[in-house]
Amino acid sequence: MKRFAALLERLALTPSRNGKLRLLVDYFGQTPDPDRGLGLAAITRDLDLRTVKPALLRELVSERIDAELFALSYDYVGDLAETIALIWEPLGPPLDPALSDVVAQLNGAGRAGAGAEMARLLDGLGTSERYALVKLATGGLRVGVSARLAKQALADFGGFYVAEIEELWHGLQPPYRQVFAWAEGRADKPVQAALAPFRPVMLASALDEAVLAKLEPGDFLAEWKWDGIRVQATAEGTERRLYSRTGDDISGAFPDVIAHMAFEGALDGELLVRRASDGQIGAFADLQQRLNRKTVSKAMMARFPAFIRAYDLLEAGGENLRPLPFAERRARLVPFMTGLPAERFDVSPLIDFAHWEELAALRAAPPDPVIEGVMLKRRDSTYVPGRPKGPWFKWKRDPHVIDAVLMYAQRGHGKRSSFYSDYTFGVWNGEGQLVPVGKAYFGFTDEELRQIDKFVRDNTVERFGPVRSVRAEPEFGLVLEVAFEGLNRSKRHKSGVAMRFPRISRLRWDKPSAEADRLETLEAMLPPA
Amino acid sequence: MTPDALLHPRPEGLYCPAGDFHIDPVRPVARALITHGHADHARAGHGAVMATRRTLDVMAIRYGAGFAGSTQVPEGVVEVNGVRVSFHPAGHVLGSAQIRVEKDGVSVVAAGDYKRLADPTAEVFEPVRGTVFITEATFGLPVFRHPNPQAEIGKLLTSLTRFPERAHMVGVYALGKAQRVIRLIRDAGYDAPLYIHGALKKLCDYYEGEGIALGPLLPATSDAEPKDFAGRIVLAPPSAFAAKWGQRFPDPLICFASGWMQVRARARQRGVELPLVISDHCDWGELTDTITELDPEEVWVTHGREEALVRWCALNQRAARPLHLVGYEDEAEE
Ligand SMILES: [Zn+2]
Ligand SMILES: [Zn+2]
C-alpha cells in the first residue's frame, strides 16, 4: 500500500508523459505480485472493489471531529477525500498492509462492516496511504493517468508494443500475473482468452494539402468522413461487444446495435444515430444524447436509433484480415454485411473520383450534412494500430475546425450568470504545454452548458475571482471542437495566433486530451506573412 | 491592569502603551521589539530595536548596518518604561524568540512564529507561562499534521536516483528554511556539493559562522554548463524558478519545501512536481498541545487560520479570541 500511495502522489503532480511512464515502470519493477497488478488495475479502472459512499466516510469522520472544524478544513482543502485523509487522526496501531490485503479486506467486509473496516484501516495508515485508501474506496481515483498510458507503461516495462497489451487486455484479469511473468521473460506471451476482444485501431493523419500533388489518386480509395464516433463492433460465439476507439466497452449504451450483431468477426466503422422524426442521420449533438451512459431508456432508443456505417473488416469467422490490403478487406466487407439488417448496419460508400480536383469539389458539396470531409486510404494499406504516417488521411471539409482543450472558464452574464459559460481553450505547443488560443461563449446547447459547467466545478484547479482554471493535462481534460472563420497573426497572444469568431462546435468527451490539436496545425493555417 | 490594557492590536502592530513599544510592527515606530528576522516581522526603519543578537545580525544582513536608530540585545529580564520584558527561544528559525511582557502581575507571552519539532538549525522552544498566550495559527487547521521531515528529504533523495538527468530545484525561503533543508539533506548522509542561488548565500554563511555546519555549497549561478546540474540539488527562493535564472537548468524538477505542500491543490497551483512537507511552524497537534501545556488564562490567536483554533479552544473550555493583526504574510517566508 505504501508504494501504491507514493506512486499516486507522484503521478498526480508529474506533468510530463515520460515522467509518468518512468514512475509506473519503476512501480512495476519494484512491487511484487499481486500488488503491482492490482495497482495497475486501480489505475485502468479494472479493479473490482466494493466501493464506499462518501456519506459513510463523512459519518465516520463526524464521530471523530467537530463539524465546524471539519467544515473549515474542507473549505480550505477543497477535496473531500483529501480532507478526510488529512484530518483523520490515526489512533490505532500502525499498519503496513499490502494493497492486496486492503482490497481483500474491503471486499470481504460486506455492507454492514465496511464502515468499521475503513475506520480500522484509516487508524493505522500514514497520510498518503489514507488518501490512496479513501480515493480507492470511494471510486474516485483520478491521477492524471489514462488507461492507455498505464498500458503503455506496462509495454515499456516488458519491452513490447502497447498494441499487444491492448489486444490482450479484455481477456486479462487483475492482478495480471501472466502478463508480468511475460514482461519479465519468465513465461510466454499469454494467449488471448476472451471472446470478442478489442483490436487496437488504425488512425488517419490530417492531410496537408501541399502533399496531395505528390500522391497518385489511383493508389487511394476515398470515402466520406461521417460525423459520428469511431467504433469497433466485435462478435464471437455468445459474446458481442462495442468498443470506442480507445478500447472502452460502450456496449451498455447501445443495446439496439448489440441485439443485431449476428455475425462472427470484427467491424470497424462509424457509430451514428438516425432521427426517428424525419429519418435523417442525426447530427453529432443527437448522437451525444446516447453517449456517456451506462444504460439507455427505450424512449431514447426509439428517438435516436443507433446504427453502424462500416468501413473496414478486421476479422471474419475467426480469420484475421488485418494483414490484407485495404482494397481486399473492403471487398470482403460488402458480402460480410449482406445478411445484416440494413437499418442497423450499412457500408460506407466509396466515392468515385479520378483527380484530386474532382474529389475536392465533391468534398466541398457533400450529399449529407453529417459529412465532415473525406477519408483517403491507400488501397494497399494493411491495418496497423496507431497513426502510421502515409497510408490514411482525413481531409476535413471545413479547415477552420480544431480540437482544443478547455483551460479556463468564466461566469457568464445575465441569465447565464449562475453558469461558467465563457471558455478559454488552448492547444499543445512543441514543449507539450497548452497555450491559450482563443475564447468562446456560444455554440453549445443549454444541456451542454450544464455539462461543461459541471465539469468546470468538478475539476477546478484554481479560482481567480469569476474565473476558474480547470484540469487540462495530456491525460485528463475536456476537448472542445472549435470552429472559427479565420486566423490572424497576433503579437498580443502568447500563442502568436488569434481566431476570428470562434465558437464551440462540439464537445468531445470521447477524445483524449493529448490528441487535441497542436499549435503547429494552427500556424499552418495562417495566411502567409 | 487587564491583559488588553497591557498589549493590544494597533494598525502598526501589537502595542504596549505602558512600555510605549510595539512588537513586530509592520510600519516604522519609535521603539520595536522583534521576535525574528522574517521580513514581515522584522522591518527596517524603526527608531530603537530590541531583539536577540542573532535576529539583529539577520536584520543587518538583510537591510544593512543602519537598519534602525539603535539596537539592544535583551539580557535576562529588561525593564522598558516600567514594563518587564524578556525574550525566550521560539524554535522557528535561528535567533527567533517569544517575547514575554509583564506589569502589575499581568503577563502576555507573544510567541511570534514558533515550532516544537526538533531542529538543529534553531534554538529549542522554551515553554513560557503567562496570563495570556498569543499563538500563531499559520497551520491552524486539523488537516495539518506535518510528517517527519527526514522522510520528506528521503523522497527528494529517492527522486534524485530515479531522475538522475534532471536538476532537482528545491524552493526554500532564504532565512531558516534553506538552512534547515540543507542540514536535513546532510543528516540523510548526502555530502555532495549543493548548489545555491545567490540570494541564499549570505544567510547560509551566517549560519555556518554560528556553528551550524552546512557542508559544501557552490553557487548555482556560476558559469557551469547546464548539464552539470543534471542529478544535482539546486536550492533557490521559489520566485527564482519562474524567472530567467530558473530556465537554464536541464529538465528541472520543481520541489518546494513548505508546510503548504500538504495540500495537493497548493502544490499543483505552484507547478510543484515534488512537494516536501517541511515547515517552520507548528502543526495542529503542536499548537493545541502547546496551549494545553501552557494552560494560560486566555489564548489570543493571530497570523493564519484563527477561526479554527478559537473554535478548538471553545470546545476545550478555554477562553480565546482572534487578534486581527494586519500586515503579516500568511504564506510567504513560511
Ligand atoms: Zn516567521
Ligand atoms: Zn510569520
Reported as a single tens digit per residue, the pLDDT across B85-120 is 999 999 999 999 999 999 999 999 999 999 999 999
Q: Could you tell me if A217 and A333 lie in one domain?
A: yes
CATH code (residue A460): 2.40.50.140
Q: What is the pLDDT of residues B263-311, one digit of tens each?
A: 988 888 788 999 999 999 999 999 999 999 999 999 999 988 899 999 9
Give the mutation candidate from A25, A68, A123 for the B interface (greatest B CB count, under 10 A): A68
Instruction: Tell me how far the alpha carbon of residue A455 lies from the centroid of ligand 2, in angstroms.
Output: 38
Predicted pLDDT at B250: 77
Q: Which residue of B has its CA nearest to A69?
A: B308
CB-based contact B141 A83, cutoff 8 Å = no
Which of A396, A417, A437 finishes a domain?
Answer: A396
Residue B63 CA, ligand 1 centroid: distance in Å: 17
Range from A118-127, A322-331, A496-505, B144-153 carrying the lowest mean pLDDT: A496-505
Q: Specify whether A246 is located in the same domain as A303.
A: yes
Structural domain of A270: 205-396
Least-confidence region, from A431-440, B142-151, B320-329: B320-329
What pLDDT does residue B332 have? 44
Residues of chain A positioned with their CB less than 8 A from the CB of B262: 86, 127
- Residue A394's DSSP bridge partners are A206, A375
Residue A345 CA, ligand 1 centroid: distance in Å? 71
pLDDT at residue number B331: 46
With an 8 Å Cβ cutoff, are B162 and A22 in contact?
Answer: yes
CB contact under 8 A, B145 and A86: yes
Q: Which of A369-373, A456-460, B219-223 has the lowest mean pLDDT?
A: B219-223
Q: Is the pLDDT of residue B155 over 60?
A: yes
Q: What is the DSSP letter of A200?
A: P
Q: Are residues A391 and A436 in the same domain?
A: no
**Do A368 and A227 share a structural domain?**
yes
Give the separation between CA B331 and CA A209, rounded to whole angstroms. 54
Residue A349 lies in a domain: yes
What pLDDT does residue A271 have?
96
Residue A372 lies in a domain: yes
Rounded to a whole number, what is the distance in Å from the CA of A80 to chain B's nearest CA? 12
Percentage with pLDDT > 70 across chain A: 98
- Check CB contact under 8 Å for A15 and B307: no
A491 vs chain B: nearest CA distance in angstroms? 21
Residue A325 falls inside a structural domain = yes
Domain stop point among A396, A420, A442: A396
Q: Is the pLDDT of residue B38 over 60?
A: yes
* Contact of A170 with A197, CB cutoff 8 Å: yes
Range picked from A186-200, A498-512, B27-41, B314-328 for highest mean pLDDT? B27-41
Per-chain mean pLDDT for chain B: 93
Q: Please state, rounded to an integer, the average pLDDT across all residues of chain A.
A: 89
* Model pLDDT, residue A399: 59
Q: What is the largest CA-CA distance in chain A?
A: 78
Quick one: closest CA in B to A469, which residue? B269
- Asked if A80 reaches chain B (Cβ–Cβ under 8 Å), the answer is no
Whether A299 maps to a domain, the answer reads yes
Distance (angstroms) between ligand 2 centre and the Cα of B35 equals 9
Asked if the structure places residue A471 within a domain, the reply is yes
Give the total number of structural domains in chain A. Answer: 2
Please answer yes or no on whether B264 and A22 come within 8 Å at the CB atom.
no
Whether the predicted interface score ipTM is above 0.90: yes
The reply to whether B268 touches chain A by the CB within 8 Å rule is: yes
Say what the pLDDT of residue A307 is.
97
In a domain, A406, yes or no: yes
Residue B327 reports pLDDT greater than 70: no
Do the domain assignments include residue A257? yes
Cα A3 to Cα A13: distance, rounded to the nearest angstrom: 16
Give the closest of A66, A72, A86 to B262, CB-based: A86
When CB atoms are compared, the residue of A14, A77, A127 closest to B145 is A127
Q: Do B142 and A13 touch (CB under 8 A)?
A: no
Provide the pLDDT for residue A36: 97
Question: Across the interface, which of B143, B162, B268 has its CB nearest the CB of A461?
Answer: B268
Spell out which residues of chain A touch residue B315, defining contact as CB-CB under 8 Å.
66, 69
Query: Which residue in chain A is spatially nearest to B285 when comparing CA positions?
Result: A89
Task: Give yes or no for B141 touching A (CB within 8 A).
Answer: yes
CATH of the domain at A314: 3.30.470.30
Tell me if chain B has a CB within 8 Å of the CB of A72.
yes
DSSP H helices in A63-196: 67-77, 80-87, 99-108, 110-124, 127-137, 147-158, 162-169, 177-183
Rounded to whole angstroms, how far apart are CA atoms A61 and B143? 12
pLDDT at residue A419, as a whole number: 87
User: Does pLDDT of A493 surpass 50?
Assistant: yes
Q: Give the pLDDT score at B79.
A: 97
Out of A13, A70, A72, whose CB is closest to B267?
A: A13
- For A166, residues 6+ apart whose C-beta sits below 8 A from its C-beta are A148, A151, A198, A200, A247, A385
> Are B143 and A76 an interchain contact pair (Cβ–Cβ within 8 Å)?
yes
Query: B264 and A82 in contact by Cβ < 8 A?
Result: yes
Tens-place pLDDT, residues B215-272: 999 998 756 677 788 999 999 998 888 777 887 887 889 999 999 999 988 888 788 9
CA of A102 to the centre of ligand 1 (A): 41
**Planar angle of CA A113, A114, A118, nearest 5 degrees:** 120
State whether residue B315 sits within 8 Å of chain A by CB: yes
Contact predicate B163/B191, CB 8 Å: no
The nearest CA of chain A is from the CA of B266 a distance in Å of: 9
Question: Residue A175: is the preceding peptide bond cis (ω within 30°)?
Answer: yes
Longest dimension (CA), chain B: 66
**CA nearest A431 in B: which residue?**
B251
pLDDT-based confidence at residue B75 (cuts at 50, 70, 90):
very high
CA distance A70 to A52: 20
Establish, for the pair of chains A and B, how many residue pairs have beta carbons separated by less than 8 Å.
72
Are the beta carbons of B262 and B273 closer than 8 angstroms? no
- Evaluate if residue A50 carries a pLDDT over 50: yes
Same domain for A432 and A499? yes
Q: Calculate mean pLDDT across residues A359-387.
A: 89
Do residue A222 and residue A362 come from a single domain? Answer: yes
Which triple of cell numbers denotes residue A452? 461543461
How many CB atoms neighbour CB A343 within 10 A?
Answer: 12
Give me the pLDDT at residue B328, please: 62
Whether residues A266 and A360 share a domain: the answer is: yes
State whether A386 and A412 are in the same domain: no
**What confidence tier does A267 reach under pLDDT thresholds 50, 70, 90?**
very high
Q: pLDDT value at position B288?
A: 97
Q: Is B208 on the interface with A (CB under 8 A)?
A: no
Of A353, A369, A396, at which residue does a domain stop?
A396
Give pLDDT tens digits for A400-442: 789 999 999 998 877 677 889 899 999 998 888 899 998 888 7
Q: Judge whether B138 and B118 are in contact, CB under 8 Å.
A: no
Residues A270 and A383 in one domain: yes
- Within 8 A by CB and 6+ apart from A296, the residues are A252, A253, A254, A255, A290
User: Does A346 map to a domain?
Assistant: yes
How far is the C-alpha of B227 from the C-alpha of B245, rounded, in Å? 15
The answer to whether residues A357 and A469 belong to one domain is: no
CB contact under 8 A, A126 and B144: no
H helix or E strand, kind and range, residue B310: helix B306-315
Contacts of A434 in chain B (CB under 8 A): none
Structural domains present in chain B: 3-143+281-322 (3.60.15.10), 149-276 (3.40.50.10890)
pLDDT (average), residues B142-152: 95
Across A244-258, A377-391, A421-435, B123-137, which has the greatest mean pLDDT? B123-137
Q: Are residues A300 and A261 in the same domain?
A: yes
Determine the residue of chain B that is closest to A67 in CA distance. Answer: B311
- Asked whether residue A412 falls in the same domain as residue A377, the answer is no
Contact state of B265 with A72 under an 8 Å Cβ cutoff:
no
